[in-house]
Homo-oligomer: A and B are copies of this chain.
Amino acid sequence: MEITIYLAGQIHDDWRNDIKNKAKSKSLPLHFVGPQENHERSDHIGVDILGDQPNKLFIDDAASSINNFRTQLLLEKSDAVIALFGENYKQWNTAMDAGLAIQANKPLILVRPESLIHPLKELSNQANITVETIDQALDILAYVYE
């Protein structure tokens, strides 16, 4: 049985490839989806498709509209969500995606460093499980197949 996982979180390093490779090496029938990982492409997708916008506000809004279209579609097709937080960036879109997933009854794994316990406490309490590493998140997914 294939399970589809939405990988919510920052797109500034290649943590998603890490998790995909580890899943592959364990031969787990997991299918991963997520946001556009090319940061520049993600920020300019609005202008790329819709054309020039009047100012920074509307450049951002145009990009977000397309990124949210993608997220809404893929989140709906997913069976569970992993939301990763790190010490950099605001990551409010990750927290919003986690809220969307919880309300849509998608089981949620939160990955965050120990240093973020306090500011993520409400989200951690609503997630099914909170872990500190990607390996732990993958262990949980592997456990579903045991």
A residues neighboring B (CB under 8 Å): 1, 3-4, 31, 33, 36, 38, 41, 45, 48-50, 54-58, 60-61, 63-74, 76-77, 79-80, 85, 89-93, 95-105, 107, 109, 116-126, 128-129, 131, 136, 139-140, 143-144, 146
Complex interface: chain B residues within 8 A of A90 (CB): 116, 119-120
A contact face: mostly helix, strand, loop, or mixed: helix
Q: Assuming the A-B contacts A49-B139, A73-B107, are A65 and B128 also in contact, with contact meaning beta carbons closer than 8 angstroms in the complex?
A: yes
Contacts of A50 in B (CB 8 A): 129, 131, 136
> Please, which residues of chain B bring their CB within 8 A of the CB of A61?
121, 124-125
Q: Which residues of B contact A54 (CB under 8 A)?
A: 54-55, 58
